[in-house]
Amino acid sequence: MSNNFCIRRSPAVLVAAFLLLMTTLVPLRANAEARLALVIGNGAYSNVTALDNPVNDAVLMADSLRQVGFDVTLITEATQDKLIRAISDFGRRLREAGDDATGLFYYAGHGVQSFGSNYLLPVDIELRDAADLSLVGVPANAVLRQMFSARNQTNIVILDACRNNPFSAIPDLTDNGLAEMKAPTGTYLAYSTAPGEIAVDGGGSNSPFTEALARRLSTPGVPIEALFKDVRVEVLEATGGNQTPWDTSSLTVDFQFAPAVVLSAEEIQTRQLWESVRLSRDPVQVLLFLRASPSNPYTHEARALLQELMAQELQAEASAPQASLPQTSEQQAPALKVEPVDPVQSERDLIEQARQSGTAEAYRKYLDTFPAGAFSELARLELETILKSETGTDPIAAAPAASAPQAPASDTPASGPPQVVAFNAPLGVGDPELASRSIAELITGFPRFPPIEGLPEAVWKEKTCASCHQWEQSNLCEQAQNYVADKTRTVAKQHPLGGVFKEALGVWAQNGCQ
């Protein structure tokens, strides 16, 4: 006694572009186990209610599975003979693939249950009596038997057979939904809705279940159990709680449709560095991160954070109480009310215009108006990025030394750079505060000048160098060797400890950083 099932709607669409994009996110599965899939979509039924979406769903699922390494056989509008032959061939191929193979069967179309057994309906099915169902339908257990006979490691069965009863006029076929099947060892069974329940159509060209599933297949590193849980949540939300996808598992190994992306040592280091910088919420550290790594996956996020932090810094300065001088009697006299111009807002407006237009001219306009503004370094970074993309050269490295900011005169030694510099010995050059200290002492002290031209004092003043640079003898030596290799760097960029210190670093590097 019993029955059931399925319906969906409208034609498949252009998911190919999206799926092509997703291929860039999925690593190649070199030397991976075989992955075989049989995907069936039946909608053009001749003797029962036709369905709009099954073929669309099957095409979408086939494309999605190919993107994650499956060798897919796609069958649409299958007659009974064609459906039986496809299942038999699939079982044979799976048996030949070996113990490590993964098999996946997906079906979209009408499905019914009778006497606790589920049947997949071919498009040419014709049924007048419930007793004939096993003769004209294809038992879903036939798929499980074929897959289990391969004795392979992992099998997945996905049934998106849903909604209406195509045999409502036939007595003894009145049960809703599909019956829950027992999963043989190593099998994962997924249904578009709970056993005995019906599923909604969905208003688009795909069923809510298949659409949600296809969208998630390429997500790297998600276990199959978690993936189908996410699908369940999305379908529940999309159907207003009327459809609950169901699954049952007897898997004995972990399975992911798309393996987790393995990062290189350099990528891991960059990510860890960015996490440290991001959590610090220190604009100086963000600026230094952008300078050191101008093009990495976190550049956009770093620029957004920098803009946020600089705006907060500027707002704090604007809202701080201003010290007022005693007024004279003339100053106390009433005067004509003049609406003041807010320089803070004016600067913000200009940088926002530049950000929205994204042109070199807009950022130049900001820098011409506010050469030492709160967003000047951000504007320079954006301008340099634009110019580099237009010319193919690095405007920072190509910049002439004459345009670089010069260290204050008080920082310039009268007798030239020292002949010998040791890490733990006083420099012996520069002003008394500099000459009496060693490199080791100076890098743990306070900066003498802004680390980047135009940086507001509130950002860097009274903050130790260690708070943003994490200097130590080894990485400082590497930096100093860059100054030796490229003499223009010695004067092209301002140093927080001044020009004398920078020259001393060059001498120290030439002598082996001792």
- Which whole number is the average pLDDT over 86-106? 96
Which residues have a Cβ under 8 Å from the Cβ of 227 and sit 6 or more positions away?
A: 213, 216, 217, 219, 257
* pLDDT tens-digit series, residues 171-218: 677 677 788 888 889 999 999 988 878 776 566 889 999 999 999 999
Distances (CA, A) of 475 to 288, 478, 480: 15, 5, 9
- In this predicted structure, what is the pLDDT of residue 169? 67
Residue environment code for 104-132, b if the CB has 16+ CB neighbours within 10 A, otherwise e: bbbbbbbbbbbeebbbbbbbbbebeebee
3-state secondary structure of 38: strand
472 Cβ contact list (under 8 Å, min separation 6)? none
Q: Which of 394, 369, 372 is nearest to 383 (CA)?
A: 394
- Report which secondary-structure segment, H or E, holds 387: helix 376-391
Could you give the 3-state DSSP secondary structure of residue 58? helix
Q: Are 111 and 163 in contact (CB under 8 A)?
A: no
| Of 74, 56, 73, 77, residue with least CA distance to 208 | 56
More confident residue, 249 or 468: 249
Lowest mean pLDDT among 34-43, 118-127, 368-377, 400-409: 400-409
What is the amino acid identity at position 76? T
* pLDDT bucket at 109, cuts 50 / 70 / 90: very high
> Whose CA is closest to 513, among 417, 430, 421?
421
Q: Mean pLDDT of all residues in the chain?
A: 77
Residue 107 token pair: 């079906």
d(CA 414, CA 495): 19
Please enumerate in sequence order all residues whose Cβ is within 8 A of that of 300, keeping only pairs 6 or more positions apart, or say none.
none
Per-residue pLDDT averaged across 440-446, rounded? 76
Is residue 394 pLDDT above 50, yes or no? no
Q: Which domains does the chain have, with CATH numbers?
A: 16-249 (3.40.50.1460), 265-316+342-403 (no CATH), 409-510 (no CATH)
Beta bridge partners of 38: 73, 105
Is residue 243 within 8 Å of 193, Cβ to Cβ?
A: yes
pTM of the model: 0.52
Residue that has been written with the tokens 């897959």 in this structure: 147
**Least confident range of 201-215, 271-285, 453-467:** 453-467
First to last CA, the chain: 90
**For residues 423 and 505, is the Cβ–Cβ distance under 8 A?**
no
Mention every residue, 6+ apart, whose C-beta is less than 8 A from residue 41.
54, 55, 56, 57, 58, 59, 74, 75, 76, 77, 108, 109
Separation of alpha carbons 109 and 138, rounded Å: 12
- Burial class of residue 320 (count of CB atoms within 10 Å of its CB; 0-12, 13-18, 19+): exposed
pLDDT top residue among 383 and 452: 383
State residue 350's pLDDT score: 82
